[in-house]
Structure 1
Amino acid sequence: MRRAQILSALMLALLIFAAAPPASAQQVLLQDKPFAEHKIVLQLSDGDANKQALVLSVANNLLKAYAPDKIAIEVVTFGPGIDLLLSGSERRKQVESLIAQGVRFDICLNTVDTIERETGKRPEFIPAATPVQVGAGQILFLAENGYTLVRP
């Protein structure tokens, strides 16, 4: 009898655990922009320095055109685009300045994991970057929640 109860409890725990989504895969909207009238997601999947500069310029121009509390801007990086958020990036100060103004920068953990697997070393990214499991999935999630996708 006791063995059956233990087995039942283990099965229940296993079912609960299997049904729960992994914590790292959860996607979260910006919570600090409750009055944002405009929501933009900028995609950066290119490692080209000119493309990175363009994305930063677009984010900066949007902040100038709208009051920072009236616009939510999220830059999602994946693939070669994560170079912008690596610790040694030459544009780190620009990124951190935009973060201080409320822009969120996401880094794709699938890309980070792939680089680690291929090189044997995990790339270090700036601490202010928000890790998301799947960059393209984050863009889809944001688009489904009212964000407009812009690919400069």
Structure 2
Amino acid sequence: MPSRLVSLLLLVFLVASFSAVSFAADTEAKPFAEKRVVLQISEDSVQRQTLVLNVANNLIRHYGPDKVDVEIVAFGPGLNMLIKGNPNDERINSMAEQSGVRFAACLNTFSNMTRTLGYEPELNANAVKVDAGVVRMIDLTEQGYVLIRP
């Protein structure tokens, strides 16, 4: 029995590590990007969420999808933007697939939301959980990203 537990723990660790590594590698997915931008969404307002997506779209149109690297970090009430079924779901999918915009979901907020709701809500398929949204933004700004809060 102990060897099964050790094997299970090792598997969980490897999956968690792989997820973190693959997301970290995504920050280098646009090696020719001249601009690197992180957009914050921390409000549960469809209008604010749409504004953040509009800003990302405007950056991509202005600089071109290969010349700008955009990540949107959602935390607090803004995490609702990345919950499956949000009015902007299709737009988020399109931006991720066509323009390479990344979407980070705060795990702290997600855990609190799960506890409050009594069940785990489903995230948009393009959302990647990060330990803490604010920490993610700090890390990105330390890598040269410009932080914008529309």
Q: TM-score range by the shorter chain?
A: 0.7 to 0.9
Q: Contact 2:46–2:87 (CA<8 Å) still a contact in 1?
A: no
The corresponding residue for 1:78 is 75
The corresponding residue for 1:42 is 39
Task: Give the aligned residue type for 1:131.
Answer: K
Find the residue that maps to 1:62 and give its secondary structure: helix
The corresponding residue for 2:8 is none
1:139-150 map, 5 Å: 139-150=137-148
Task: Give the aligned residue type for 1:66.
Answer: Y
Q: What TM-score, normalized by structure 1, do the two folds share?
A: 0.81
Matched residues in 2 for 1:25 and 1:110: separation?
15
* Residues matched between the structures, number: 131
Task: Give the aligned residue type for 1:122.
Answer: E
Q: Note the aligned Cα RMSD (angstroms).
A: 1.6
CA offset digits 1:56-81 (Å, max 9, x no partner): 10000001001111100000000111
Runs of 4+ in 1 over 6 A off after TM superposition: 24-27
The corresponding residue for 1:136 is 134
1:75-114 map, 5 Å: 75-100=72-97, 101-114=99-112
Find the residue that maps to 2:93 and give its secondary structure: helix
**What are structure 2's unaligned runs of at least 5 residues?**
1-15
1:22-37 map, 5 Å: 23=17, 28=24, 30-37=27-34
Q: What TM-score, normalized by structure 2, do the two folds share?
A: 0.82
Structure number with bigger Rg: 1
**What are structure 1's unaligned runs of at least 5 residues?**
1-21
